[in-house]
Amino acid sequence: MNGAVYALWHRELVRFLRDRSRLTGSLMQPVIFYLMFSGALYGSFKPYGMDYSAYFFTGTLAMITMFTAIFSTITVIEDRKEGFLQGVLISPVPRAAIALGKTLGSATLSFGLAAIFLALAPFTGIDMSWDRVLPTLGVLAMLSIAVAGLGFSLAWVMDSTAGYHGIMMLFLMPMLMMSGAFFPIEDAHWLISWVRHVNPMTYGVGALRHTVQGAAPGCPTFAICLLGTAVFAVATFALGTFVVTRRSARDAI
């Protein structure tokens, strides 16, 4: 089982690093997003009196984590189509190991890319001392596992990458939007405000705000954010293991 998990995890990393355009896109997209939004809204938008560049820095970390996990779990669909997955399914590997290997692979990429962006903090004027960096990395690790588990579970039950993109726009993008990553939603319409509470991303973003900014106005307390993120990670991870263990005629292509 360990060998299998390691193999699947390692393969995710190798494939990512070997795919130049994917690598470049994944590294540049968040930087460009960050520069565009924080530059454009710099003068006009100061949530909780904070510079938008500081506010959006934390949001970008959440965005990287989510986007990377989504795009890397799409490979589940590709693996299924290309036949690679079929080969794994008939190997003696326990199915839970497939969920574990793939999810950890995606989570590692999410975490790695977010950590690289975090290293750019000094250039944005955010004071990141080690006592903030380490807890931030801890939260990023949890959040990476959570979104990778979610992405894996969705990708496992989808038949096409186009369908997955549909789900992404319908479900995952709003999750990110309604988490407070881009703008505060504390005083939003009651409906949005309600969505905020049930949206697990809210807690991930909140936890990151606590660790990166030292204070998180408009977010639940650090303890609640941590707990919410932990529950999110455990739940999606369990979901991934559940979907993968159901055998069906669909496993054959």
Partner 1 sequence: MSNPQSSSASAVTAADVGFAYGERQALSGVSFEVASGGSFGFLGPNGSGKSTLFKLLSTIVPMQTGTITILGHDLAREASAIRRRIGVVFQSAAIDRKLTVFENLRYAGMLLNLGGKELAARIDESMQAANLSDRKADAAGELSGGLRRRVEIAKCLMAKPDLVLLDEASTGLDPAARRDMWQVLRAQEGLTILFTTHLMEEAAEADRLMLLDEGQVVAHGRPGELMEEVGGQVLEIETPDAVALVNELRTALQVDAVQVDQTVRIEGEKVQELVPEVMTRFGDRIRRLHLAHPSLEDVFLHRTGKRFIVTPPEPDVKKGRKKRRRS
Q: Write out the residues near partner 1 by the rule CB under 8 A.
A: 1-4, 6-8, 10-11, 14-15, 18-19, 81-84, 86-94, 159, 247-253
Query: Toward partner 1, which CB reaches closer, 10 or 46?
Result: 10
Class of residue 96 by CB neighbours under 10 A (exposed 0-12, middle 13-18, buried 19+): middle
| Distance of closest approach, residue 98 Cβ to partner 1, in angstroms | 10
In the bound state with partner 1, the residue whose beta carbon lies nearer, of 11 and 165, is: 11
Cβ nearer to partner 1, comparing 61 with 77: 77
Identify the burial level of 99 via C-beta atoms within 10 angstroms of its C-beta, where 0-12 means exposed, 13-18 middle and 19 or more buried: buried
C-alpha–C-alpha distance, residues 196 and 178, integer Å: 6
Helix axes 95-118, 222-245, angle to 10 degrees: 140
84: which 2 tokens? 């690679």
Residue 3 or 125 with smaller CB distance to partner 1: 3
Q: How far is the CB of 102 from partner 1 (least distance, A)?
A: 13
Nearer to partner 1, 127 or 159 (CB): 159
On whether the CB atoms of residues 27 and 116 are closer than 8 A, the answer is yes
Q: How many CA atoms lie within 13 A of 245 on its CB side?
A: 10
Helix extents (H) in 83-129: 84-89, 95-118
* Residue nearer to partner 1 on the CB measure, 197 or 250: 250
| DSSP 3-state percent helix, strand, coil across the chain (nearest 5) | 80, 0, 20
- What is the distance, to the nearest Å, from the Cα of residue 132 to the centroid of all Cα atoms in its chain? 20
DSSP for 136-163, written as a single string: HHHHHHHHHHHHHHHHHHHHHH-S-HHH
Q: How far is the CB of 167 from partner 1 (least distance, A)?
A: 17
| Shortest spacing between CB 25 and partner 1, in angstroms | 17
Q: Shortest approach of partner 1 to residue 1 CB, angstroms?
A: 7
Taking the C-alpha atoms of residue 2 and residue 10, their distance in angstroms, rounded to an integer, is: 12
